[in-house]
Amino acid sequence: MSRRNRNSNGDDETFRVRTPRRDEGEIFGIIIQMLGHDRVRVRCEDGEIRIGRIPGRMKKRIWMRVGDTVLVAPWAFQTDEKCDVVWRYRGNEVDWLKKRGILKMF
């Protein structure tokens, strides 16, 4: 999804907000604990608490903290226990998702 935003110059600026691909099993989650070794504990929107793995392409570029809203993909096996972190949302993206009703408080 995209959003139009006016910057300080008055120009229109468009940026994209990543939404979950439900057909691929992606769901929203909130980081509740940093475990070390590129692992986090995530509370998912389906009520489960999973151990999430941060892939190498993200861990060197994106810093994650407790309380961040993330997009996770539960594993095909061990779905109740583990997942991969796919995306981290910034504050303005979370606000936009809540405003549109895509991200419901869980």
pLDDT in tens, 4-36: 555 555 544 566 788 778 878 889 999 999 998
What's the whole-model pTM score? 0.78
Distance in angstroms (rounded) separating the CA atoms of residues 69 and 89: 6
Distance in angstroms (rounded) separating the CA atoms of residues 85 and 55: 7
The backbone torsions φ and ψ at residue 105, rounded to the nearest 5 degrees and listed phi first, read -65, 135
Q: Which two tokens stand for residue 84?
A: 């991969």
Q: Which two tokens stand for residue 105?
A: 């408080």
Q: Which two tokens stand for residue 41?
A: 């504990």
- Which residue segments constitute the domains of the chain, with CATH numbers given? 2-100 (2.40.50.140)
pLDDT in tens, 64-103: 889 999 999 988 887 678 999 999 988 888 888 888 888 8
Q: Which two tokens stand for residue 45?
A: 């929107």
